[in-house]
């Protein structure tokens, strides 16, 4: 295995490559041509849009098949940013990038100089040279976040107030997490009686999401097992952790949660899968996500949250680690959480310990109505702040929005365009809506109405739909499952 230094390069064999960067980071990839620019939204692979032709992101790992990349692709740049947004990379463990061949044999490794205040680091690039491919170590930092990287690579990051595009462009299907609103343009307002005319995509920046993949500090990961003892079995760990969890909830004034057998079975299966593959991820290499496992065990959540952790060896160490971070401790204090499932598994060769915790509120029709009403109330609060009239709920737009969220979960895609090519205005018309203009926002991965509306407002294209003066009505859909866990849809109508 070659140890790379900044600027160093190494030839790569033909076939699939595995690029892994473990730790408290979000890993992304930018696919570019010879000009160093992306060709469109589908060239940005990250936790909200984890697949592209020839590239797939699973947690801390990118699987790359260079010869299957889109036509004209000549370079793939690997980028990391902190899993906790706003944390300088200098406060985190040093990242280590490993490149492996399709048999899992190590090819190259790169440990960049330790960054300081940067919030994004270009780690390495896989690039075409002649008839083959090579890897080059970079280690270039950015202080202005992913937006700065996106602009440099040709992503059109619109300014606030930019007009919505003339027609929504389909996003790359999210056949893997992730998770929140991918960088897809919102549907513009458009007369329902006019057939949609394709227009060039106008990218909007990705919506931020608090990643659920949580990695314990290196010191915890390396902690030795208790002397003279063995780790408790998964079921025992669940019950022990429940006592510690409920004690923490009592201190926060939240009601106790109950251990649910279906969630526990799903959490245990997911923890075992991570241990077997030696990697933290919401999705296993075979494409099975934690949320697929939850559905398979028969639990239908209204709201869902999760912790994916490696390192702590006992239930108390696991809970203590989760309570250390403000965002990590959120589910411990959430009064809406009713059920909990916890799984623990040991790595068969490394001895690492993998934990999965799932927090849920069970689905009810009334709960779904309350959730949608919260999204509408938060949306109207943003309109009121902009001195715009509130949007009135419309049952036909609600039916269209809910059907689209349900469809994205059921058929495992993430796009404004469904597999048959239907657009937002087609779905609104099918639901009986007669509005002259239709717009749509989608997102996946956000765990609360506050988080999803905040994400939409932080994205200029989605914000333009929320603050469009012509819109008068709204419908909201929400569904859980598939790969990202949660799928949200807003459909707007103009009379």
What would the DSSP string read from start to end of 147-187?
Answer: HHHHHHTT---PPTTPPPPSSPPPPPP-SS---S--S-PPB
Distance of alpha carbon 179 from the chain centroid? 3
Distance CA 46, CA 420 (A): 25
How far apart are alpha carbons 225 and 351 in whole angstroms?
A: 9
Q: How far apart are the first and last CA of the chain?
A: 64
At 290, list the tokens. Answer: 């934690």
Would you state the pLDDT for residue 228? 31
476: Cα within 13 Å, side-chain hemisphere? 23
Whether 103 has a pLDDT exceeding 70, the answer reads yes
465: closest CA among 432, 447, 491? 491
- How far is it, in rounded angstroms, from Cα 155 to Cα 180? 18
**Looking up tokens 């103009």, which residue turns up?**
494
Q: Closest Cα to residue 419, out of 154, 184, 174? A: 174
Predicted model pTM: 0.59
pLDDT digits (tens, 9 = 90+) for 414-427: 889 899 999 999 99
Residue 475 pLDDT class (50, 70, 90 cuts): very high
Helix (H) or strand (E) segment spanning residue 206 = none
Write down the pLDDT at residue 147: 64
- The per-residue pLDDT for 284 is 86
**Of the given ranges (78-92, 199-213, 384-398), which has the lowest mean pLDDT?**
199-213
Query: What share of the chain in percent tops pLDDT 70?
Result: 81
Share of the chain above pLDDT 90, in %: 48
Q: What share of the chain is helix, strand, coil (3-state, %, to 5)?
A: 30, 25, 45
Q: Give pLDDT tens digits for 17-34.
A: 999 998 888 899 999 998
Q: Which tops the pLDDT comparison, 26 or 368?
A: 368
CB 83 within 8 A of CB 214: yes
pLDDT in the model for residue 279: 82
Q: Residue 83 burial by CB count (10 A; 0-12/13-18/19+): exposed, middle or buried?
A: buried
The single-letter DSSP state of residue 238 is H
Beta pairing partners, 476: 490
Q: How confident is the model at residue 324 (pLDDT cuts 50, 70, 90)?
A: confident
* Phi/psi-derived region of residue 241, left when phi > 0, alpha when psi is between -120 and 50, beta in every other case: alpha
What residues have CB less than 8 Å from 233, skipping those under 6 apart? none
Helices vs. strands in the chain: H and E counts, helices first: 12, 21
Contact 331, 359 (CB under 8 A): yes
**Taking a C-beta distance cutoff of 8 angstroms, is the pair 446, 330 a contact?**
no
Sheet with 97-100: strands ordered across: 2-4, 106-110, 97-100, 17-20, 61-64, 55-58, 51-52
Q: Is 433:161 a contact under the CB 8 Å cutoff?
A: no
Reported as type and span, the H/E element at residue 232 is: none
Query: 230 exposed, middle or buried (CB, 10 Å; 0-12, 13-18, 19+)?
Result: exposed
pLDDT value at residue 150: 66
Find the length of the chain: 495
Which has the higher per-residue pLDDT, 366 or 42?
366
Instruction: Extract the tokens encoding 364.
Output: 């009810």
Please determine, for residue 164, whether its predicted confidence score (pLDDT) is greater than 50: no
Distance CA 99, CA 107 (A): 5
Q: Would you state the structure tokens that stand for residue 138, as one six-digit string?
A: 């970079």
Mean pLDDT of 197-219: 32
> pLDDT at position 249, please?
93
Distance separating alpha carbons of residues 299 and 480, to the nearest angstrom: 11
Q: Is the dihedral of CA 395, 396, 401, 405 positive or negative?
A: positive
- pLDDT number for residue 45: 86
Mean pLDDT of 39-48: 80
Burial of 420 (0-12, 13-18, 19+ CB in 10 A): exposed
Tell me: the pLDDT tens digits for 134-163? 999 988 887 666 666 766 776 554 433 333
Contact 313, 223 (CB under 8 A): yes
| Cross-strand partners of 154 | none
- Write down the mean pLDDT value for the chain: 80
Report pLDDT for 1.
63
Closest alpha carbon to 295 in 482, 107, 111: 482
3 state SS of 403? helix
Distances (CA, A) of 55 to 52, 193, 358: 5, 39, 28
Kindly report which listed range (125-139, 195-209, 354-368, 415-429) carries the lowest average pLDDT score.
195-209
- Compute φ and ψ for 145, nearest 5 degrees: 75, -170
């Amino acid at each position: 295995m070659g140890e790379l230094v900044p600027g160093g390069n190494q030839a790569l064999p033909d076939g699939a490559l595995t690029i892994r960067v473990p730790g408290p980071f979000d890993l992304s990839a930018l696919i570019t041509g010879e000009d160093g620019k992306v060709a469109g939204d589908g060239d940005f692979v990250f936790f909200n849009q984890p697949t592209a032709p020839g590239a797939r992101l699973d947690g801390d790992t990118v699987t790359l098949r260079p010869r299957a990349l889109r036509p004209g692709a000549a370079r793939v740049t690997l980028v990391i940013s902190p899993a906790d947004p706003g944390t300088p990379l200098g406060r985190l463990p040093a990242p280590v990038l490993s490149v492996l061949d399709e048999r899992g044999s190590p090819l190259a490794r790169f440990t960049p100089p330790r960054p300081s205040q940067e919030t994004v680091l270009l780690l390495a690039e896989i690039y075409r040279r002649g008839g083959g491919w090579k890897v080059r170590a970079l280690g270039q930092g950015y202080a202005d976040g992913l937006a700065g990287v996106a602009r440099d690579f040709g992503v059109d990051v619109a300014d606030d107030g930019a007009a919505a595009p003339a027609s929504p462009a389909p996003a790359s299907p999210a056949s893997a997490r992730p998770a929140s609103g991918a960088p897809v343009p919102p549907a513009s307002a458009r007369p329902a009686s006019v057939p949609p005319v394709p227009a060039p995509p106008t990218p909007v920046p990705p919506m931020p999401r608090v990643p659920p993949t949580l990695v314990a500090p290196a010191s915890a990961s390396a902690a030795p097992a208790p002397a003279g003892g063995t780790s408790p079995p998964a079921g025992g760990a669940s019950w022990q952790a429940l006592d510690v969890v409920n004690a923490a909830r009592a201190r926060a004034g939240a009601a106790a949660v109950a251990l649910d057998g279906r969630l526990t079975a799903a959490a245990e299966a997911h923890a075992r899968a991570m241990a077997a593959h030696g990697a933290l991820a919401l999705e296993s290499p075979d494409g099975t996500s934690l949320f697929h496992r939850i559905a398979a065990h028969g639990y239908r959540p209204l709201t869902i949250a999760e912790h994916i952790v490696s390192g702590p060896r006992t239930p108390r160490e696991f809970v203590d680690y989760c309570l250390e971070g403000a965002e990590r401790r959120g589910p411990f204090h959430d009064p809406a959480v009713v059920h909990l499932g916890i799984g623990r598994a040991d790595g068969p060769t490394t001895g690492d310990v993998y934990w999965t915790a799932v927090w849920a509120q069970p689905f009810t029709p009334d709960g779904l109505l309350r959730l949608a009403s919260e999204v509408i109330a938060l949306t109207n609060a943003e309109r009121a702040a902009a001195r715009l009239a509130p949007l009135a709920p419309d049952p036909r737009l609600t039916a269209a929005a809910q059907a689209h969220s349900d469809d994205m979960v059921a058929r495992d895609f993430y796009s404004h365009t469904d597999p048959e090519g239907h657009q937002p205005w087609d779905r609104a018309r099918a639901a009986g809506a007669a509005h002259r203009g239709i717009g749509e926002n989608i997102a996946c991965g956000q765990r609360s109405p506050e988080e999803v509306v905040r994400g939409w407002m932080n994205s200029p294209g989605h914000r333009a739909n929320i603050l469009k003066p012509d819109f008068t009505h709204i419908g909201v859909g929400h569904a859980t499952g598939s790969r990202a866990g949660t799928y949200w849809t807003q459909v707007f109508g103009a009379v």
